[in-house]
A and B are shown apart, each in its own frame.
Chain A
Amino acid sequence: MEMLGLSLALFGAALAAALAGIGSAIGIGVAGGAAAGVMTEDPNKFGSCLILQALPGTQGIYGLLIAFFVLNKLGLLGGGGAVALTWNQGLQILASCLPIAVVGWYSAIWQGKTSAASIQMISKKPEAMGKAIILPAMVETYAVLALLTSILMLMGVQVG
């Protein structure tokens, strides 16, 4: 049972990277489909389509970031031994990972849908690129807030 804390913390890291990554993959996939459709008509839109398609990718990176944060906190990176964790501390770390895991997952999917719509928009009105970027960025706000919450929570958890 003495490893339960470590396991719980790792479970949290896994959730953060996996769920946010899944969300980003779906979001980018949705946006990519729309981008490919637009580019069959006008291949010159590749640049702007790519930027819009990349927008829902940040959640995956936020998830990865939190996962690394946890691994670093546990001392699992860099060859030193893992720190000793009570199951309570493990559960606290798991809880800290949940905001970015869940919000990253869902927000990336919805951001992907908004990106796809924005891609449709610039196919008709290329001059509206500024507005097209802002609409998906509105969705990302909540992923940023979740990232912030996860970071602040992780920093508050005392280990070692």
Chain B
Amino acid sequence: MIIKIENLNYIYNPNTPFEKKALDNINLTVEEGDFIGLIGHTGSGKSTLVQHLNGLLKPTSGKVIVDGIDTSSKDGNLKEVRQKVGLVFQYPEHQLFEETVYKDIAFGPKNLGLEKDEVHSRVKKAMELVGLDFENLKERSPFELSGGQKRRVAIAGVLAMKPKVLVLDEPTAGLDPRGRDEILGRIQKLYEEEGITIILVSHSMEDIARLVNKIIVMHKGKLVMEGETKEIFRKAEKLEELGLGIPQITCFMRRYKSRGNPVDDTVLTVEEAKRELINYLRRRGNV
């Protein structure tokens, strides 16, 4: 287990007229090698929870333990926590600031006091991981790049810290389909090839369905559902009650089944639906 959250409560502006309970008794365990989708509509507490994972916020009560370190204990080493858990915010490209792509990505590792050679190899590797050409782009200004490229520079900056857990808050917001597929493809590779534990916050049920193996659902500061991807998307009515949905393709298969066609309605991708339907339609055709 890499992250353990116990009875976590968080209150914004305590003891003022603006007091608001943002997290309400959250209990959660993240295992190494998990790929978790965190969903919930705006204001459900997702971002507040995410900011607890690397000590940016400290619990009002309860505990967050990252790889054995309690983020709220006095001797808890937050620097170490932030190295273990890399956090990519929404629109991370707004945080780029250096003159060159290289310097921007090198900023974190340099601050760790690493040797020049180590910084160099980390920058190079991080750029490879997000699919940015090292030789061509390292001396370019990050501000001259396309939106999708800027975002990948920002993610590379986090990866250069070699985190064990990567948390991404809506990494595809505002990108076009091509940019989105590029980023998601890279994230999947990080998971599969680098073995990084990933927590993905997203509003797109289609993206969640395609990628993650576990889902956590937040609602009004509470963790209301938790389970494997298929298991969660089987509960369409419950998700709709929470203002969420299921992938369009899953919705189609459910509706099709309810009209008397015995198909597997737990499919999550177009690819799966195609296989299932071809089997079913051919069988039906032969009767």
Do A and B interact?
Answer: no
A interface residues, Cβ below 8 angstroms from B: none
